[in-house]
Structure 1
Amino acid sequence: MQREVRIQRNAWRVRRCQRRVSGAFRRAGRGVIHPTHCKGTPMPAEHSRTTRAQAPRPARWPLMARLLRDGVQAMSDAELIAVLIRKSATGSQAEQTAVRLLDSHRGSLRALAARGFTAGFPLHSTHAVLQAALEFTRRSLLETLRERPLINSPSDLHHFLALWLRERPRECFAALFLDSQNRLICAEEMFAGSVAQTVVYPREIARRALETGACSLIVAHNHPSGVTEPSAADRKLTQALRDALRLLDLPLLDHIIVADNRCFSFAEAGLI
């Protein structure tokens, strides 16, 4: 009787050992091992813990493998787009879709990015992904602007404003509210108009400045025409806005016009 109990107990131990070791190797991606690889039996060297491959699994998509190997700088415009839209079009379909998107916009990344800003245009999922990538870049620049005084980093400010306003098909007027150290509190689009003009209400800008606790302001708007030079209306508006904010002890530090790849600064031109 005792002998039978010992046999059953040993058989139970063997089965438990088999389950433990087999489960360990399944988790390691090596399948199920032979039942003899139990307690007291040395395991083959290729199955030992110290010799398991630690390298990441290779990418199945050739384009992704190339991205991991060569970096983003080595990729073409179409390849970068294909990587971004892979969720909506997988594999070679993503690459073909990317080529078609570029061709339909004459090979221009800017034109493709601007399509999402066109009023009334139905935003396809691929365009939505590209817009998300642009928004990611804009928000990362916004974080950079919050780290130091804006007057000390005009190039970063111009880059941010160009990315934000440059491709808008209509004029947009924005305000950047700053704290006592000239660091950015928030940046908001205040007014939107037509292709040639925007109606701006200084009292609304002043009200919003008081709500945010701003100590100074920078305003900006775009020129869809691509002309950076300020118009007579731009100069008159700047003067009226500066005078209105001065009554509330809120200095207007600059008015920036964004057009194409260039920015015009009223402060740098000595007009404010």
Structure 2
Amino acid sequence: MSLNHWPQHLKPREKLLNQGADSLSDAELLAIFLRTGVVGMDVVSLATHVLQHFGSLNQLFNADESAFCQTKGMGQAKFVQLQAVLEMSKRYFQESMFRENVLDSPEVVRTYLHQLLRDETYEKFLIIHLDNQHRVINDEVLFTGTIDAAAVYPRVVVDSVIKHKTAAVIFAHNHPSGISEPSNADINLTNKLKQALSLIDVRTLDHFVIGYNEVVSFAERGLL
């Protein structure tokens, strides 16, 4: 049955307007993005097919152009549109993070870092520079490594902190394996960085480890 013949309250757009976006399934959200179906499939059926093909929204979002465009109902125009949506989402969370005291909006920081680092195939080590009010000055990837590790040098971290006139820092790095559990090497490195920065009166507020589905906080674990 065509989507036009569905009851109004079951149509994805109407459901979103009446009940909110969080009431929609992954397929319904994707259907709104796709807008139209194909011959023999309404848009919700197409969205369901696409999700089954890729396995999840995450896998769909990370598909390369070739795999995406070869899927029924997809194409280069939709690929470009999706990449724009994903980038806007990252920039939204980054802008939100820059506006506020990060300690007042920890979930915004976690979400931003998760979106930024979770799908990286190589390990990256990022630092968020904060002022005395714990507002973001800047964030930057200081080191990029291999699929297993990134070499992090305390001297480079200290130089960056001095350059930005930083009062406090938050560290973050991803585990390309997808497992967010901190390693002994992560813990030892964080202690070294914390000690080095304490000598110049810069506070280390947290270190986040980013996996596929989880973000682990050193502060919450009592590791700082």
Short-chain TM bin: 0.7 to 0.9
* SS at 1:92 equivalent: coil
8 A contact 1:219–1:254 mirrored in 2 = yes
Aligned to 2:84: 132
What's the offset of the Cα at 1:145? Answer: 1.9
Deviation track 1:250-269 (CA, whole Å, cap 9, x = no partner) reads 22211111123222222222
Cα distance in 1, alignment partners of residues 122 and 140 from structure 2: 16
* Structure 1 counterpart of 2:193, from 220, 236, 241: 241
Cα distance in 2, alignment partners of residues 256 and 146 from structure 1: 18
* Residues 1:112 and 2:60 are matched in the alignment: yes
* SS at 1:267 equivalent: helix
Cα distance in 2, alignment partners of residues 136 and 263 from structure 1: 21
1:94-105 to 2 correspondence within 5 Å?
Answer: 95=43, 98=47, 101-105=50-54
Deviation track 1:56-78 (CA, whole Å, cap 9, x = no partner) reads xxxxx96xx95553326365534
What's the offset of the Cα at 1:85? Answer: 5.2
- The TM-score normalised by the length of structure 1 is 0.63
Cα distance in 2, alignment partners of residues 75 and 265 from structure 1: 30
One-letter amino acid of the structure 2 residue matched with residue 92 of structure 1: G
What's the offset of the Cα at 1:154? Answer: 2.3
Deviation track 1:59-116 (CA, whole Å, cap 9, x = no partner) reads xx96xx9555332636553453354356xxxx4349487555423312x001112335
1:170-181 to 2 correspondence within 5 Å?
Answer: 170-181=122-133
8 A contact 2:154–2:193 mirrored in 1 = yes
Structure 2 CA distance for partners of 1:77 and 1:121, relative to 1, 3 Å: closer
* Structure 2 counterpart of 1:151, from 84, 100, 103: 103
Cα distance in 2, alignment partners of residues 126 and 157 from structure 1: 29
* Residues 1:186 and 2:186 are matched in the alignment: no
> What's the Cα RMSD here?
3.2
Cα distance in 2, alignment partners of residues 115 and 168 from structure 1: 13
Unaligned runs of 5+ in 1: 1-60
What's the offset of the Cα at 1:218? Answer: 0.4
8 A contact 1:84–1:129 mirrored in 2 = no
Cα distance in 1, alignment partners of residues 119 and 153 from structure 2: 23
* SS at 2:62 equivalent: helix
- The TM-score normalised by the length of structure 2 is 0.74
* Structure 2 counterpart of 1:160, from 112, 128, 140: 112
Paired residues, number: 204
* Residues 1:204 and 2:153 are matched in the alignment: no
8 A contact 1:146–1:185 mirrored in 2 = yes
Of the two structures, which has the highest relative contact order with CA contacts closer than 8 Å and spacing of 6 or more?
Answer: 2
Unaligned runs of 5+ in 2: 70-75
Aligned to 1:29: none
Cα distance in 2, alignment partners of residues 197 and 204 from structure 1: 17
8 A contact 2:12–2:31 mirrored in 1 = no
Which shifted more, 237-246 or 75-84?
Answer: 75-84
Cα distance in 2, alignment partners of residues 214 and 129 from structure 1: 37
> Based on CA coordinates, which of the two structures has the bigger radius of gyration?
1
One-letter amino acid of the structure 1 residue matched with residue 33 of structure 2: L
